[in-house]
A and B are shown apart, each in its own frame.
Chain A
C-alpha cells in the first residue's frame, strides 16, 4: 500500500485501450478474469459480483457504477463482507499497449491491519503467508 487505506496496482498490457476497455466492461469477459457479474457500463447501474461464500462473507460483492469515461476511466463501489470501498480503473495508452492502473480505496487502515499483525505473530508466519497468498489469488478477501 502506498498510503494507508488505499491499494494501488498497475500493469502494462500489450493490447490497445479499446480492447482492454472491452475486457473491463463486457460481463462475459469480466467473468473470465474476475467474477460472475451483471455489470452494465452505465453510471448509476447497480450490479453484483458473485463467488463462493465463506465465513464472514456471503460471496456477493455489491457494486454501483460511479463514474465512466470510455477507454479512460471506470469507477465502481465495492461492498462485500466488512468492506465498503471504491475501485477505480484508469487506462493510459503506452506505446503499442495500455498501462492499466487500479486503485482500491476506503479500507479501514486500523482494524484489519491490527488483525493481520496479530495473525502474523501467532502463526508460523512462513506457511501462514503462503496459504494466504495462494488462497487470495482465487477469491476476494472479505
Chain B
C-alpha cells in the first residue's frame, strides 16, 4: 500500500461514497452497500477491491456474507499531508524570502 494508492482510491466518487456509507453505517455486507448504487455487483466489488488494496477498508467473512468496514488510518496520513497550517507556513516562508531579497544588507 502506498500513498498514491490511497489518493487513487479516493479520486473516484463511487469509492468515496462507499467510504462515507461505511463511516456512517459501520461495518456491513456488500449487499447492503449495493442497495445504494445503480450498478452491477461485480463493478461494486471491483471498487471495494481497490479500497481494500489501498488499506481503506477491511473485509471479513461472517457465515455466507462478507462484511466490509472502514479502516481510517490511511486517511490520517492524507489529512496530515493536507495539514492547512503547514501549507500556510510554507507560503509565509516564501513571502519572507521575498522580503529578504528586497532588503538591503547591513
- A-to-B contact residues, CB < 8 Å: 1, 4, 7, 9, 11, 13, 15-16, 18-20, 22-24, 29, 32-34, 100, 102, 104, 107, 113, 116-118, 120-122, 124-126, 129, 132-133, 136-141
Q: Which of A4, A18, A137 counts the most chain B CB atoms within 10 A?
A: A137
**A22→B20 contact, CB < 8 A:** no
Interface range for B? 35 or more
Instruction: Give the number of residue pairs across the A-B interface with Cβ within 8 Å.
Output: 105
**A19→B19 contact, CB < 8 A:** no
Give CA–CA (A4, B76) in the complex, Å: 10
Provide the residues of chain A in CB contact with B13, threshold 8 Å: 124
Provide the residues of chain A in CB contact with B98, threshold 8 Å: 33
A69 to chain B, nearest CB (A): 19
**B82→A132 contact, CB < 8 A:** yes
If over half of B's interface residues share one DSSP class (helix, strand or loop), that class is named, otherwise mixed; here it is helix
B35 within 8 A of A: no
Not counting A117-B72, A136-B84, a sample of 10 additional A-B residue pairs whose C-beta atoms are within 8 angstroms of each other reads A7-B89, A9-B86, A9-B89, A13-B100, A34-B96, A116-B79, A120-B10, A125-B10, A125-B11, A140-B88
Q: Which of A34, A121, A125 counts the most chain B CB atoms within 10 A?
A: A121
**B88→A15 contact, CB < 8 A:** no
- A113 touching B76 in the complex, CB below 8 Å, given contacts A15-B100, A33-B95, A120-B10: yes
B92 within 8 A of A: yes
Give CA–CA (A137, B84) in the complex, Å: 9
Give CA–CA (A129, B76) in the complex, Å: 15
Provide the residues of chain A in CB contact with B84, threshold 8 Å: 116, 132-133, 136, 141
